Structure 1
Amino acid sequence: MASNFTLNQQLAEDCIVLGSLGSSLLLLLNNSLVPWFILVPQTEACEIHDMPDNERLQLFDEMMELARFVDNEFKPDKVNTGAIGNIVRQLHVHVIARYEDDFCWPQVVWGRPEKKLYSTKEIDRIMTRLSTRLKQRFVPVTAE
C-alpha cells in the first residue's frame, strides 16, 4: 500500500483486512451471513469515472478477478458488484455472493442489522483459498 494511503475508519471497523489484490486493499466484511468482499483502490478519486484511465482499468481487472473467485469458490446464485459510497466516501467496490435462500434475498444486504461474525477458522480458510486461487496477485496481510 502507498505510504499515504489510509483506510476509512468505518471500513476498518466493519471489515477484516485480508491483504491486497493488485493495487487495491482487499477486505472481508465481518458478517458471515453472506460472503462479502470489498476492494479499496489506492486513489484520490471518490468516483470510478474520476479515476485516471490506468487506475480504472486496473480496478476493473481486480473486480473481475475477485468476482470470478467468489463465483468459483462460493457457488452463489448471483454475484452482486457495486460501488455505492453514500455513507463511506472513500472509493470502494463491494463483491458479494448472494443466494436465493440467504437472510434477505432478494433485497439488498446494505444496512441490515442481521450479523454473524466470522470465526478465526473461517477467516483462515478464506485466506487459504485466496492464496491458492489468486496466488499471482493476492498478497496476504502479515501479522505485525
Structure 2
Amino acid sequence: MMMFHLHDRLQADTAPIAEWPLCRVLLMDNRVWPWLILVPARHGLTEIHQLPREDQHRLVDEIALASRTLETLFAPDKINVGALGNLVPQLHIHVIARSRTDPAWPGPVWGSGFAERHSPEERNTLIRKIEEGLRQK
C-alpha cells in the first residue's frame, strides 16, 4: 500500500486542523473566507467516485460535519462545497462559508482576485476556534 502524501500546493496554502477517519482537515490560508479543505488520506485519488462506497459515504458525513461547524461558528448565508482539482489533481474538497457581504458574492471565490493570507496569530486563533467548534459537534 502506498503512503499518503499531501500535494505540495495544499501543503503550502493550508494549515492542519484535524485528522478524521477519512480526511485531513485543513484551513485554507485566505483570511477573506472561513475556508476548510478536506483531503481523503488515500493515495492516488483524483475523483470522489474512485473512493470505495463506504468511504464515499464517510466523505459526505465529513463534509456535513465541516459544513455544520462553519455554519455554527460563522453564521454564513451559504456554504459552498466543491471538488475542482484543476490545479491540484489530488482529491480535495473545499468547504467555504460565504456571506452576501463578502467581496466575491455571488460569484465563485476561485479566480475572484480576493486572497489575503492570515497573520500567524490570526491563523492560530482561527484554528483553535474551529477545533473547539468541531469538538462541540
TM-score normalised by structure 2 residue count: 0.88
The letter for the 2-side match of 1:106 is: P
Change (3 A) 1:77 1:35: same
- Correspondence for 2:8: 9
Which region of structure 1 is more displaced relative to structure 2, 111-120 or 28-37? 111-120
Superposed displacement of residue 136, structure 1: 8.0
Distance in 1, Cα, partners of 2:113 & 2:12: 15
Superposed displacement of residue 45, structure 1: 2.5
Is 1:69 aligned to 2:64, yes or no? no
Displaced runs of 4 or more, over 3 A: none
Change (3 A) 1:22 1:135: farther
- Correspondence for 2:34: 35
Distance in 2, Cα, partners of 1:118 & 1:20: 22
Distance in 2, Cα, partners of 1:110 & 1:21: 26
- Correspondence for 1:85: 85
Distance in 2, Cα, partners of 1:31 & 1:84: 17
Change (3 A) 1:135 1:54: same
- Correspondence for 1:25: 24
Distance in 2, Cα, partners of 1:33 & 1:112: 11
- Correspondence for 1:120: 120
Distance in 1, Cα, partners of 2:62 & 2:19: 10
Change (3 A) 1:106 1:126: same
User: Structure 1: where are the runs of 5+ without partners?
Assistant: 138-144
Residues 118-141 of structure 1, C-alpha deviations (whole Å, 9 max, x = no match): 12332232222233232289xxxx
Change (3 A) 1:45 1:87: same
C-alpha RMSD of the superposition: 2.0
Q: 8 Å contact 2:17–2:131 — kept in the other structure?
A: no
Q: 8 Å contact 2:18–2:131 — kept in the other structure?
A: no
The residue matched to 1:134 in structure 2 has which SS? helix
The letter for the 1-side match of 2:102 is: D
Report % sequence identity.
36
User: Structure 2: where are the runs of 5+ without partners?
Assistant: none
